[in-house]
Amino acid sequence: MSKLVTIYGGSGFVGRYIARRMAKLGWRVRVAVRRPNEAIFVRPYGVVGQVEPVLCNIRNDESVRKVMQGADAVVNCVGTFDAKGKNNFGAVQNEGAERVARIAAEEGVARMVHISAIGADLNSTSVYAQTKAQGEEAVLKHMPNAMILRPSVIFGPEDQFFNRFAGMSRMGPVLPLVGAETKFQPVYVDDVARAAVMGVTGEAAPGIYELGGPDVDTFRELIKQMLDIIRRRRFLVNIPFGVASGMGSVFDTLKRLTGGLIPAQITRDQVESLKQDNVVSDGAKGFADLGITPASLEAVLPEYLWRFRPTGQYDAIKESADHLKTE
């Protein structure tokens, strides 16, 4: 019988890429999510019955255990940007990670891969970063041979980074940026998935790996590159951290008072995160140790950002026509 992997958050941005790769390797894949009916799209990743979305609440022991039974490996991709509510930072990124690792140890699961983030730090001023670090500690306490991946900002067709700012560029001539000079090392989502699969199959040694792409740029430089790709000119305005913190407090309050009807455009905790560079640490294990050559922004962004161009898919045709007129 083929081996089984349970992927918590397996229909999410990173999880779906891991699920697809595991299915291609012939593994059976359980995609553990809160809303299985919204994860039906993962089924065609394999043959009939090979990839199945299953109900799971990462805040409940029995729920986590039920979908893990019989698994040879587990991957935890669950994370959140919500500071409040039932599925807050602590409940998901600390307690949830601990629960998955503890039950994996109890069930005798051979391998575990945990997706964390660059910047995970118990002493950070960001609660998000604190709980990421707490989750890592909890995982290693119960599964000391786990592989922990710390990616920088992740890009790909479903990302909430470049897609978000490309969408904002349609709304006017100005794009506001918080932390315009903060450095990032964007990493392609499928490269993160490749690393995770190596941990699941045992091809990679256990430990913490920091994953960053080949390009290190400031936030401003990344947005400029995005604007070049979508053929738009916008005035980039850096919002000082003090002002951004005030804005974050207002948005946090509005979100709380309206029960989430008014989403926060930026939170105070996100502002705190943006004060620190998001790049691979000196001496950290990374892609080189895994034998993976990460994809560049230049090679991937045009493949999915073209729809934000002024004339979308027809933009290249229009440029060709204009070029012919000048000849």
Q: Which residues contact 247 (CB under 8 A, 6 or more apart)?
A: 239, 265, 266
Q: Distance between CA 127 and CA 141 in Å, rounded?
A: 21
- DSSP structure class, residue 200: H
pLDDT at 255: 80
Instruction: Tell me what the mean pLDDT of segment 116-140 comes to.
Output: 96
Query: Percentage of the chain surpassing pLDDT 70?
Result: 95
Q: What average pLDDT score do residues 121-141 get? A: 96
Q: What is the pLDDT of residue 211?
A: 98
**pLDDT band, residue 104 (cuts 50/70/90):** very high
Using one digit for the tens of pLDDT, what is the confidence trace for 51-65?
Answer: 999 999 999 999 999
Residue 165 pLDDT more than 90?
yes
What pLDDT does residue 138 have?
97
**Confidence bin at 244 (pLDDT 50/70/90):** very high
Residue 321 has pLDDT above 60, yes or no: no
pLDDT surpasses 60 at 323: no
Check pLDDT > 90 for residue 169: yes
Share of the chain above pLDDT 90, in %: 85
**How does DSSP classify residue 281?**
P
Q: What is the pTM of this model?
A: 0.93
Q: What is the spatial distance between Cα 75 and Cα 100, in angstroms, rounded to a whole number?
A: 9
DSSP codes of every residue in 28-43 = EEEEEES-GGG-GGGG
pLDDT at 73: 98
**What pLDDT shows up at residue 316?**
60
* pLDDT at res. 81: 86
Q: Render pLDDT for 189-213 as a digit per residue (tens, 0 to 9).
A: 999 999 999 999 999 999 999 999 9
Q: Reply yes or no on whether the pLDDT at 98 is more than 90.
A: yes
Picking from 92, 94, 20, the residue whose alpha carbon sits closest to that of residue 57 is: 92
- pLDDT of 313 above 70: no
Asked if 46 and 19 touch (Cβ cutoff 8 Å), the reply is no
The mean pLDDT of 174-181, rounded to a whole number, is: 95
At 218-233, the pLDDT tens digits run 999 999 999 999 999 9
Q: How confident is the model at residue 170 (pLDDT cuts 50, 70, 90)?
A: very high
Residue 221, token pair as written in the block: 């430089």
The H or E element that residue 7 is part of is strand 4-8
Read off φ and ψ for residue 108, nearest 5 degrees. 70, 30
Judging by beta carbons within 10 Å of its beta carbon (0-12, 13-18, 19+), is residue 136 exposed, middle or buried? Answer: buried
pLDDT of amino acid 260: 73
* CATH code of domain 4-155+186-213+279-294: 3.40.50.720
Is residue 6's pLDDT more than 80? yes
Name the band, by pLDDT with cuts 50, 70 and 90, for residue 16. very high
Task: Compute the average pLDDT of residues 83-104.
Answer: 93
pLDDT of residue 258: 78
**DSSP string across 232-259:** ---EEEEEPHHHHHHHHHHHHHHHHHTT
Task: Report pLDDT digits (tens) over 250-282.
Answer: 988 888 777 777 777 889 999 999 999 999 999
